[in-house]
Amino acid sequence: MIHAICVAGARPNLIKVKPVIDGLESRGAKTTFVHTGQHYDEAMSGVFLDDLGLRQPDLSLGVGSGTHAEQTARVMVAFEPVVDQLRPDVVVVVGDVNSTLGCALVAAKAGAMVAHVEAGLRSRDWSMPEEVNRVVTDRVSDDLFAPSADAVANLQAEGYRADQIHLVGNVMVDSLLANLDRAIARDTLRDLGLRAGHYALVTLHRPANVDDTEVLGSLIDTLGRVAEDLPVVFPVHPRTRAQLAGRTIPAGVALVEPCGYLDFVALEHGAALVLTDSGGIQEETTVLGVPCLTLRDNTERPITVSEGTNQVIGRSPERVLAATRDVLANGWPKRCPALWDGQAGARIADVLVSGVPQRRLRPTDLGAE
């Protein structure tokens, strides 16, 4: 039976890796769960582990923060001896963070199979560090697990072999559906003084939105105008809180501490609408049928626009307000992409367990034999 190292680096990775670990272990595979420590603090990552029912990592690398180069380099230096010692059949990486890229590079050079979960997503915005991570990780991976048909089309257009590409669905949806009832049953809304269907939920963390004080200030002022129509609750990412120091927050905008996974799902489920720059939240709101307004100029998840509840509206105050009021007045279609059914982790495990022992490494030249 195969041995898989399953890697997580940031909190969203925990949501994505849990269904893969469960699927592999239910089929008799040995798994080693590695947390690189790109995001790690007990108040947040520890809560996510508990909320998801995910065991403590078998290995914690503790790489911490830093520039993109520093962080990726530390991941690689820390992960290389793990691969050398354990000699896994496959290294499974998820998402698009620096840990994803660093561990994929180490595994590919060590001769292990590399499996990328969430392969094929493209924003085509090369100013996003995540886009670089996504494209390079796919390039060194052997198995490409795509969450949606548009991701498959991207991989096909880039010349990947048909037997590398697997349309499996969305692992974030697996975790969402598995935990939704538990989340709804919590007292999250009551504790925050909120009423289901009568508030807007906001998240902001991307550098383009929070590192420029002028852009962030404009967004905060816009949220104040949204709050004239309904209360706004804003769990504040640490990166964003630092930028808000000393700024007056408009009436009706409630800044709250970052939430654990179950509490945040409860907030999403109860919201009248969500305003965000997160990729994963675009997917979760689509499954929940909650209107989502994405405060970016593009998205690597266009399926949530064509087949979901998401609109990409940019940052213009006028456009944000107009979209908010239109959604509140008229609602938004509720659709869900194919295979977003809670079984993506099982499909991934089936491919890996059946295929890895017989499979050779992919050639560097995708057209070579």
Within 13 A of 150's CA, how many CA atoms are on the CB side?
14
Report CA-CA distances (Å) from 304 to 19, 25, 148, 337.
Answer: 21, 30, 10, 8
**Cβ atoms 89, 356 nearer than 8 A:** yes
Q: Which residues of 245-269 are buried (b: 16+ CB within 10 A; e: fewer)?
A: eeeebbebbbeeebbbbbbbbbbbb
**Given 35, 116, 205, 237, which residue is catalytic?**
205
* Separation of alpha carbons 170 and 285, rounded Å: 13
Nearest-angstrom CA–CA distance, 289 and 200? 14
CA distance 306 to 108: 35
For the record, the structure tokens of 134 come out as 């996504």
CA distances for 1 relative to 29, 91, 352, angstroms: 6, 15, 10
> Which residue stretches of the chain are H helix?
11-26, 47-52, 68-86, 98-110, 129-140, 149-157, 171-184, 188-191, 207-210, 213-226, 238-244, 261-270, 279-288, 303-306, 317-330, 344-355
Active site residue 166: no
340: CB partners within 8 A, 6+ apart: 147, 148, 169, 170, 173, 283, 286, 287
How many C-beta neighbours within 10 Å does residue 360 have?
A: 7
Which residues carry out catalysis? 205
